[in-house]
Structures are given as C-alpha cells and as structure tokens.
Amino acid sequence: MSKQRKKTSGGSIVIDDVPLRWVVRSEPQKGTADGDVGLRLTVMFDGKAHRELVLEYPFDKNQNLARVLERTRAAPESLIADIRLAMEHGWEAKSRGRPFIFALYDEKIGED
C-alpha cells in the first residue's frame, strides 16, 4: 500500500527586501469545535531567526480552495497587502517569539 503525500501549497515573495515564504497552514473546515474555520496561511522569514505570521481568513461556504490558491499565486499583491497590514499591526519578520496570529475577518480573500 502506498502512502499518500500531503499536498503542500505555498510560495516565496519579497517585501521591502525581506525574503518570505508562505504555506497553507490549514484548509477551510466546516463544523469544527470552534465553528467554521477559514483558510489559514503561515508566512515566515526565509532565514534563521523568525517569528511566524498566521493569516486567518474568514470562512466562506462558497469558496473553492483550489481557486483561492490559484488566485493567491497569480495575484500576490493581495497576499502582500495582507502581510503589510500585519506588519502595520506589529508583526516583524526577523524577530523571534510566539506566532503572530492576524485575523483578516474584515477582508475577503480573492476579491477582484
């Protein structure tokens, strides 16, 4: 019996000369103990010391994860804008410490 490999989606971006990488931390989930949970992305400094940024998006019952990830790759400006917003609220990529969880409940991922 062969093992199925977990699909990992992610990429690399540079903001203000700081190399960052992002991956999907968890896909949207419906009916969890905490209620409906939207897409969560992890963003990290692509170096030694880092403080993880977790971007939490609202749950959208009509969203298609494949399309969301495709748009994120095709139009990283929305991801960059979300990361810059987290930076304005105190996240520093090169710092150390606990993960910085940033909820974007007022934002809609993939908005045109």
pLDDT band at 91 (very low <50, low <70, confident <90, very high): very high
Write the pLDDT tens digit of every residue in 71-81. Answer: 555 457 888 99
C-alpha dist (Å) from residue 78 to 71, 74, 95: 9, 10, 23
* pTM recorded for the entire structure: 0.72
Residues 83, 54: Cα–Cα separation, whole Å: 10
**Contact 53/102 with Cβ under 8 angstroms?**
yes
Q: Are strands 29-32 and 18-26 parallel, antiparallel or unpaired?
A: unpaired
> Sheet holding 100-103: strands in order across?
10-15, 18-26, 40-45, 53-56, 100-103
Give the DSSP H/E element, type plus range, for residue 29. strand 29-32
Please compute Rg for the chain using Cα positions: 14
Residue that wins the pLDDT comparison between 64 and 101? 101
pLDDT band at 32 (very low <50, low <70, confident <90, very high): low
